[in-house]
Amino acid sequence: MKRIVILISGRGSNMQAIVERCAEEAWPAEVVAVLSNRPDAAGLAWAAARGIATAVVDHKAFARREDFDAAMVRAIDVHRPDLLLLAGFMRILGADAVERYAGRFLNIHPSLLPAFPGLHTHRRALEAGCQVVGATVHFVTPQLDHGPIVMQAAVPVHPGDDEHALAARVLKSEHVIYPLAVRWFCEGALELGADGRVRHRGGASQVLI
Ligand code: GRF
């Protein structure tokens, strides 16, 4: 059984989707802990109510970024993760912390990377006149919202969309591709090639359209 630790900062809907799919589809995996940098993250109560260990490492309690990272690493390592997931975690971890989990660390970002890394992706996509947007699951590297792509979902922009409408449509796709990518990792179906590309060993499509 793969041990999954999930880092959140807010509502945690991607975390919930992963916990639910993991149980429903009997993955060879268990979400053993949900950690947050914010004490008020709504997803913490949801996880705790399901008997999942939760903890808060409040970034405001640390003057130096390295000290926050070190505390977060300690909180993560207590749970001996085989897989670490960022799911709406709004702090940037330093390179040392990221490299500690190299090859077993995934993130979801609400854009078709490498377009629109960082914040306000939906607003920026609308301003740019994009007709298609999406979401990306990728391995985490020290560079923000960058790293080998595991799966992407394409989502159409509709006339009259504002950023909230678009974010809601993209989020539905996130809840499909993130659990699927995590399942693949837990089943050992993902292969990270020497060329830096991620492939599904069985040839499953890594795009949702
Ligand atoms: C999602 O859009 C995710 O892609 C981004 O932050 C949002 C988190 O939402 N990184 P939730 O907390 O999973 O509901």
- pLDDT in the model for residue 8: 98
Pinpoint the residues of the chain covered by CATH 3.40.50.170.
1-101, 107-209
For a mutational test of ligand 1's pocket, the pick from 11, 14, 16, 164, i.e. the residue with the most ligand atoms closer than 8 A to its C-beta, is 14
- pLDDT in the model for residue 90: 96
- CA dihedral of residues 35, 89, 65, 105 (deg, nearest 10): 80
Q: β-pairing, 190-192 with 198-200?
A: antiparallel
Q: Which residues neighbour 184 within 8 Å (Cβ) at sequence distance 6 or greater? A: 150, 190, 200, 204
Residue percentage of the chain with pLDDT more than 70: 100
- Residue 134: enclosing H or E segment and its boundaries? strand 132-139
Q: Which residues are catalytic?
A: 109
**CB burial string 168-177: b at 16+ within 10 A, e below:** ebbbebbbeb
- 13 C-beta closer than 6 A to ligand 1: yes
For residue 50 the two structure tokens come to: 């399901």
- pLDDT in the model for residue 127: 98
Q: Which residues neighbour 26 within 8 Å (Cβ) at sequence distance 6 or greater? A: none
pLDDT in tens, 121-164: 999 999 999 999 999 999 999 999 999 999 999 999 999 999 99
Q: What is the SS3 assignment for 17?
A: helix
> What is the model's pTM?
0.98
Domain covering 107-209 in this structure, CATH number: 3.40.50.170
- 88 C-beta closer than 6 A to ligand 1: yes
- pLDDT in the model for residue 157: 98
> Rounded to the nearest 10 degrees, what angle do helices 13-24 and 163-186 cross at?
40
pLDDT in tens, 103-117: 999 999 999 999 999
- 175 C-beta closer than 6 A to ligand 1: no
Rounded Cα distance between 59 and 145, Å, is 20
Rounded Cα distance between 69 and 95, Å, is 10
The DSSP line for 100-117 is HTTTSEEEEESS-TTSS-
Q: Which residues of the chain have pLDDT under 70?
A: none
**CATH for 1-101 (3.40.50.170, 3.40.50.300, 2.30.110.10, 3.40.50.970):** 3.40.50.170
For a mutational test of ligand 1's pocket, the pick from 136, 150, 174, i.e. the residue with the most ligand atoms closer than 8 A to its C-beta, is 174
- pLDDT in the model for residue 65: 95
- pLDDT in the model for residue 192: 94
Taking the CA of residue 107 as reference, the ligand 1 atom at the shortest distance is: 10
